[in-house]
Structure 1
Amino acid sequence: MNNDEFPSRRQDDLAESEGRGPLIKKIFLWVVGIIVLLIISGAALFFFWASSAPKISRNELASQSTTTIYDANNKVVSRLGAQKRQYAKSSKIPDNLKHAVVSIEDRRFYKNHGVDPTRIMGAALNNVFHRSDGTQGGSTLTQQLVKLSVFSTAASDRTFKRKAQEAWLAINVDRNFSKNEILEFYINKVYMGNGVYGMKTAAQYYYGKDLDELSLAQMAMLAGIPQSPTYYNPDVKDTQPATIRRNQVLNAMVRSKYITQAQADSAKQESVTKGLDSSHGNTKTNDVNVKEPVVDAYVKEVLAQLEQKGYNPQTDGLQVHTNMDLGAQQKLYNAANNSVSFQSDQMQTGVAVTNPHNGQVVAMLGGRHTGNTIYGLNRAVQTNRSSGSTAKPLMDYGPAIEYLNWPTFYTLRDTKFTWPGTNTELHDFDNQTKGTMTMQDALVQSRNIPAIRALQKVGISRATTFLNGLGISQKKAFTLNNGIGLYVSPLQVSAAYAAFANGGTYYKPYYISSITTQDGKSINYGKNGKRAMSKATAYMITYMLKGVIDSSDGTGTAAHISGVHQAGKTGTTNYPSGHSQSGVMDSWMAGYTKNYSVAVWTGYDQPMKNSISSAYERSAIMLYRAIMDYLDGKNHASDWKMPDTVEAVRYRGRKGLVVKDSKWALQYTAIDDSDSSNSDSSASSSSDSDLSSSVSSFFESRGRDHESSSSASSASTNATSESNNNTNSTTPPSNSTSPAAGGNQ
């Protein structure tokens, strides 16, 4: 056999190479084809998205993005910001300012055509390798202008579709407007912090000067602010971030050869605080005729809600419609600051008004005598103060009806009580006990011990479930102590009590009814409710709480308004035992009609230094009365109608309510609920009324909320009495509102 009969290795390699060649070529062609297909598909998708891009006009480019906030009747209540807008034509903008903006924002601005592929790829690589110096991103100055003019910064708008539309519009803007015009639009539109838009206005706000009067360093500072207006604000204590940013701009101007290194070094020697004008130059308030302090607390929460939804209210140019009743807002502000008596200007308040039908926040007050402070502490939403006895319907008696089917005349013992696991006794404000009394009388007279005994019977677990259904929760487990004082905000109390007002549905409170972005897209917001309790529970609690206001021995009789069908509860918190401070720490009034739910807190921000004297415990009630009188006069509410799941019965000569078909309903004779002799407001037996009236007058003269020390109702049957055994005991926590202090009216 000769060698010709066997292929050589070289021949094998050649054959293999010849076989691989077509395969590699095929793979290469497939890859190229896929890339071409992707490019064609991407281009097709780009133009499809671009075809639906919103239109953009000169007016939209030249206008300054303003977020406008409206009340429920479409009246403007706030514009962001508060300063006068000053527009600078291109011929009035110094070259150094133009150069500074272009250098730091888009150094190829005069060469690109609205978008810059090189810049986009560079920004992408910098992000991947984490080597960006933070001076420039992927968007050109023209794209930023388009975004400020048409789109919002909400997370929901950060899509490939929006980026495609933004790029398409930037290309068209570059095609239809000169570079000087585009730069002019941008310089006049950009947000500069502190509610200021446009660099001409910013020059006045920060330096009290016109643009052509600014130094090179000051122009560089203005050019650097827009990337992060709050962080780079030169008018703050820590000026290091502003200084670094200003110097970045100067360095960028050197790289772009607009200034020399020597000029930059000289400008860097100038402090960023040099020339700052505390009077903010020639700026003035805008055309809104509503005083800022009147709506401050409400607007602050609206802005926070916008940010939670992903919007930037300072730059997105939004039209925000809210649920604010401006008339109620102004009435509330005037009452707290002028007509209602407070102990001093330092005594504070937080008030929330909600609509029981849907959870809309109607009005809100975060404080009084706040001066010119904008977006200050909003006490209507703070949760670090005890609610006192306003907690009793929420944690004690509401759950007792809901889970145990207690009638309104269920009897409880107001006798000596020691907190489980301690030697500490629980007391009321009068350091007395009343013996056996009905649940209704205990709630009307705001007795502490019966409330805690009711909570023991209900159990912390079921009480927690009930509270959670009303939007009230906390990280730590609830304890018995919370039965006479929850750490909740006026807004939470208002929303929770609203569930009693509407028949048992809890609606999450909300401020905004709709948002319209610059491109015309509108988003509507509505009620979000869920059943928190039975209609029977809501009605029976309301029936008892009407007595707090209408009964002679109720703690809230000062809130009575003729002809107004309302129910409510007072609350105060005393100082811990052994504390030398006299008076009380907090005073509350929460109440409602079928149309409005109002919660008022009053007190001092530093309660260990200042206390509420007995004469001014009623300030909360009087403020509540003032706003409720206005609200019901505007939208009068009818009385509540008893649901068919509740039955009125006669108990020891008095009217009482029971859950229909419960064991209590079978033991007593049903009565006609329309019988006027068994009025809902009659919480005490007639034999007690003279004594109650005299004692009530005594407490009114002391300024206490008509907290009666009269004897409990003579009804003391054991047929419906609570067990002598305390169950589900929980040791009260050690905190600033000691259970030993009592007095939670």
Structure 2
Amino acid sequence: MSSIMANKNQWSRVNRNQNMYDNHPATEPPTMPPNNGNGGSTGGPQKPKKKKRRWILATILWLLVIGFIGVLAGAAVFVTYANDAPNITASNLASEPSSAIYDSQGNPIWKLSAVERDYANSNEIPKSLKQAVVSIEDRRFYKHNGVDPVRIAGAALANLRGSSLGMQGGSTLTQQLVKLSVFSTSTADQTLKRKAQEAWLALRVEKNFSKDEILTFYMNKVYMGHGVSGMKTAAEYFYGKPLTELSLPQLALLAGMPQSPTNYDPYLKDNSAAKERRNTVLLAMVKYGAITKKEADDAIKVPINDGLQDLTSKTALANTNRKVVDAYVQSTLAEAASLGYDTNKSGLKIYTNMDSNLQQSMYDNANGTAVTFPSADTQIGATMTDPSNGNVVAQIGGRNLKTLQGTNHARLKTRSSGSSIKPLLDYGPAIEYLNWPTYRTVEDKEYKYAGTDKNLSNWDGKFMGNITMRTALTQSRNTPAARTLEDVGGTDAGKFINGIGVPIDHTPGGADAIGITASTEQEAGAFGAIANGGTYYKPTYITKIVTADGSTHNYSVNGQRAMKTSTAFMLTDMMKGVIKPNATASDAIIPGLHQAGKSGLVGYGDDEGMPNQAIKDAWFTGYTKSYALSVWTGYDVPRENYIPWSYQDLPAQFYQRVMSYAMQNKPNTDWTMPDTVTSKVRGNIVEYEVKGAKWSNGGLPSVNSIPQSGATPAEVGNNNSH
């Protein structure tokens, strides 16, 4: 019994020791003999694991060293960037670096501020407005020195939480002022270097100017929408009152607008975003201690449009020259936006390819008496490019403009091109892929669209029988064009026309042969590719953009080979015949000028209730080696108006006036036959074919001359041709 008790006491001591070890993990346990695999001992006590602790300490030390080196490196980078920062002066801070658009000679054509800015002195700005701006934009404005680490941390946290109280951005008001004064506002330019320079300049601004001065600079500089910069100007523009006479809800609306002037525009039909933003400002003012909760609640009840003026009576864009360049500017702004620029921000200088003399000529011919239009409501769209590089040198988007920045008919892609598409979709691919010569026989005979009972006719209701491709194109016969597209096949035809910038979203066939939707911008680019020998350049407006910090960004387009030089030359040679007496665009003749082109008319269907030979869309696209000019005319509501048959040559007449002016000081150079083409005289006409190429006449008899009987300068191409 005593033996048992002794053993029990022994186990109790062991358990107590183990419990002590379990309850004190930081205490090193007693050394136990390791197992040698046979239950025996290795012969001695195990040494403490000091090496592990040394390794941990070494790691910590290395991390500290690496962190210290990282801080030094970061500081060195910051200093390097700061040394390269642009200068910033009181003039930079006080003035608005106005954004403007310039022509090819560097002359300003459009200021991106619609009204002059009235600068507000500090005593003209109510204390409540200053409090509103600080509350919503930078609550710690009076506590930091230009850069706020607390704000940066708060911004990250607010973004994670999805807060909407204006703290999502880490930039202080001072940093925002610096950005508006000397830096680009493009998101593409928000690099580490720019952020470092922005922070450095913000520290300098805080050192040299008082908080009140900085806040005044900011409130005078911010963009408020509608071409208005500065809150004093906005008060006069929106309310017709000085800032000192505005109510609390009106001031809160102004304070909240700079974050997104477009979205928070109170004049929008759906102005709920503006109302929500104003209310957010009011609640921020309560949190800041600027107003009481009751004052905020009372202001929130006020309608968002309270006191707003009727803007229809304002003439902010009164400069008459704006009408001259309206369409070109509209296209330029669209291109700038596609390049990543926010054109509502200050400090952009956008340089374009516009030739102001050609632009004025277009405007004068569209709005003067040199070209006679059927009525005041007849509209026009026209684009002129340089075929050698795709630069758009002039563009007009309408006539008798009542409003600016409205419909730009030059880029409208919803109107049928009529027969002007035939060289691009039918005959161009036939030369490119089938090696057709200019004298290849085509049939002008009765034709039904494949798989239908629908007949296709010509403008005169007659057929010319077997004719050459040259004749079919110059006389704009419809049935040969449809047959040619069939022979080429929709896949190759679609590949060809997409390659010259006239996109078609389906495999072309049937009625596409005599008309698809296109714009004058697209046709000018496509015909320009033919003019320069087969290289397509996308039409482009901008040559360079200089941002507020003085950085220059240059832009140009690279040309893409779209067709063989042989195809381009043979198309040009055939289309020279379009601009001749008894052809379809005789009104485009400029005596002695080497030029080519194609006209197109779109008629109405029998079920549209229009008179016989009424025209829905009239086109002419022509070119020299220096310029390509595409012209469309028609009506915005074609079901209510139409172009009379007697005005079918309206686009050719406009082209003739503008191109005559444009070519005055340009070389009158003819196209040279490439060495891949050879000539043949057939029926007293010089015809061309691809040298050594195999082609088929389709089993049709050869024809040697161009029949002239019945040919008149007119054609209509659409699904229901006359």
In structure 2, distance between residues paired with 1:554 and 1:187: 64
1:89 match: 121
1:495 maps to 2:525:
yes
1:614 to 642, 645, 649: 645
The answer to whether structure 1 residue 527 and structure 2 residue 557 are counterparts is yes
How far the C-alpha of 1:136 sits from its partner, in A, is 5.0
Residues 66, 314 of structure 1: 8 Å contact kept: no
Return the alpha-carbon distance in structure 2 between the equivalents of residues 386 and 478 of structure 1.
Answer: 14
**Match for 1:402: what amino acid?**
E
Specify whether residues 479 and 282 from structure 1 end up closer, same or farther in structure 2 by C-alpha distance, changes over 3 A only.
Answer: closer
2:537 equivalent among 477, 486, 507: 507
Does the CA contact (< 8 Å) of 2:385 and 2:391 recur in 1? yes
Whole-angstrom CA distance in 1 between matches of 2:540 and 2:552: 17
Q: AA paired with 1:275?
A: G
Q: Are 2:599 and 1:570 aligned?
A: yes
User: How far apart are the structure 1 equivalents of 2:608 and 2:339?
Assistant: 45
Distance in 1 between residues matched to 2:693 and 2:58, nearest whole Å: 84
Q: 1:169 aligns with which of 196, 201, 215?
A: 201
* One-letter amino acid matched to 1:170: A
Runs of at least 5 residues in structure 2 that lack an aligned partner in the other structure: 1-9, 30-47, 697-703
1:581 corresponding residue in structure 2: 610
Distance 1:187 1:131, change over 3 A: closer
Deviations 1:341-382 (A, max 9, x none): 2222222121111100100011111122221x2221112112
* Correspondence for 1:216: 248
**Of 326, 338, 344, which aligns to 1:308?**
338
Give CA deviations for 1:421-472 in whole Å, capped at 9, x if unaligned: 1111111111111111111011000001111111122111211221122022
Distance 1:284 1:653 in 2: 63
| Larger Rg, first or second structure (1 or 2) | 2
What displacement does 1:506 show?
0.8
Q: Is the 8 A contact 1:571 1:589 kept in 2?
A: yes
| Counterparts of 2:524 and 2:93, CA distance in 1 | 44
For 1:390 and 1:483, the matched residues in 2 are separated by 10
Q: Is the 8 A contact 1:206 1:280 kept in 2?
A: no
Structural mapping, 1:338-487, within 5 Å:
338-339=368-369, 340-371=371-402, 373-487=403-517
| 8 Å contact from structure 1 (residues 539, 643) kept in 2 | yes
Whether 2:100 is the aligned partner of 1:68: answer yes
1:648 aligns with 2:627: no
- Give the structure 1 partner of residue 585 of structure 2: 556
Structure 2 SS opposite 1:510: coil
Residues of 2 paired with 1:226 and 1:586: CA distance? Answer: 44
Give the % identical residues.
47
Alpha-carbon distance in structure 2 between the residues aligned to 1:662 and 1:41:
67
Give the Cα separation in 2 of the matches to 1:150 and 1:281: 35
Deviates more, 1:478-487 or 1:409-418: 478-487
Taking the aligned partners of 2:208 and 2:98, their CA distance within structure 1 comes to 25
Amino acid at match of 1:707: A
Following TM superposition, by how much is the alpha carbon of 1:588 offset from its aligned partner in structure 2, in angstroms?
A: 0.5
* Contact 1:104/1:136, CA 8 A, preserved across alignment: no
Contact 1:135 1:248 in 2 (8 A): no
Secondary structure of 1:578's match?
helix
1:225 aligns with 2:225: no
Matched, 1:256 2:288: yes
SS at 2:290's partner residue? coil
1:548 aligns to what SS in structure 2? coil
TM-score normalised to the size of structure 2?
0.89
Quick one: which amino acid aligns to residue 651 of structure 1? R
Deviation at residue 559 of structure 1 after TM alignment: 0.9
Matched letter for residue 307 of structure 1: A
Segments of 5+ residues of structure 1 without an aligned counterpart are 666-682, 697-705, 710-736
- Is 1:275 the equivalent of 2:282? no
Alignment partner of 1:542 is 2:564 = no
> Does 2:710 correspond to 1:742?
no
Q: Distance in 2 between matches of 1:379 and 1:606?
A: 13
Cα offset for 1:546?
0.8
SS of 2:177's equivalent in the other structure is: helix
Which position in structure 2 is the counterpart of 1:670? none
Judged with a 3 Å threshold, the aligned counterparts in structure 2 of structure 1 residues 426 and 285 are, in CA distance, closer, same or farther, namely closer
Cα deviations across residues 396-428 of structure 1 (Å, max 9, x unaligned)? 111111122211111111011111111111111
Partners in 1 of 2:117 and 2:111 — Cα distance? 12
Counterpart residue identity of residue 531, structure 2: A
- Give the aligned residue type for 1:652: G
1:129 equivalent to 2:136? Answer no
CA 1:398–1:738: 2 relative to 1, 3 Å: closer
Aligned 8 A contact 1:83 1:283 in 2: no
* Match of residue 632, structure 2, among 601, 604, 619: 601
Aligned to 1:707: 714
* 1:720 corresponds to: none
Cα-to-partner distance string for 1:616-668 (whole Å, 9 max, x where unaligned): 22222222222111111243432222222222211133221122233589xxx
Deviations 1:693-722 (A, max 9, x none): xx64xxxxxxxxx2289xxxxxxxxxxxxx
Contact 1:208 1:282 (C-alpha < 8 Å) held by counterparts: no
Which amino acid counterpart does residue 28 of structure 2 have in structure 1? A
1:153: how far off? 2.2
Contact 1:151-1:316 within 8 A present in 2 as well: no
Q: Is the 8 A contact 1:204 1:281 kept in 2?
A: no
State the aligned residue count.
680
Question: Which letter maps to 2:605?
Answer: P
Checking the alignment, whether the CA contact within 8 Å between 2:411 and 2:520 is kept in structure 1 is yes
- Which of 57, 65, 68 is the matching residue for 2:89? 57
* Matched AA of 1:179: K
Moved more, 640-649 or 520-529: 640-649
Equivalent pair of 1:349/1:367 in contact (CA under 8 Å)? yes
Instruction: Judge conservation of contact 1:205–1:281 (CA < 8 Å) in 2.
Output: no
* AA partner of residue 78 (structure 2): F
Deviation string 1:488-536 (CA, Å, 9 cap, x unpaired) is: 1110100000011111111111100011111111011123101111111
Moved more, 577-586 or 310-319: 577-586
2:143 is equivalent to residue 111 of structure 1: yes
Amino acid at match of 1:528: N
Q: Secondary structure of the equivalent of 1:15? A: coil
Equivalent residue in structure 1 for 2:184, among 147, 152, 173: 152
Q: Show the 5 A alignment for 1:628-707.
A: 628-662=659-693, 696=712, 706-707=713-714
* Alignment deviations for residues 554-606 of structure 1 (CA, whole Å, 9 cap, x no partner): 10001111122211111011223433223122110010011000111111222
C-alpha distance in structure 1 between counterparts of 2:323 and 2:374, whole Å: 21
Q: How does 1:175-186 map to 2 (within 5 A)?
A: 175-186=207-218
CA distance in 1, matches of 2:714, 2:378: 22
| CA shift in 2, pair 1:281/1:387, >3 Å | closer
SS in 1 for 2:414: coil
Specify which of 19, 28, 31 is matched with residue 15 of structure 1: 28
In structure 2, what is the Cα distance between the partners aligned to 1:708 and 1:264?
A: 70
CA contact (8 A) 2:514 2:718 kept: no
Task: Establish whether residue 324 from structure 1 lines up as the match of residue 337 from structure 2.
Answer: no
SS at the partner of 2:618?
strand
Change (3 A) 1:47 1:281: farther
Q: What is the CA–CA distance in structure 2 between the aligned matches of 1:652 and 1:280, rounded to whole Å?
A: 66
- Note if contact 2:154-2:167 (Cα within 8 Å) is conserved in structure 1: no
Matching of residues 190-209 of structure 1 within 5 Å: 190-209=222-241
Structure 1 counterpart SS, 2:393: strand
The answer (yes or no) to whether the contact 1:208–1:280 under 8 Å persists in 2 is no
| Amino acid paired to 2:431 | I
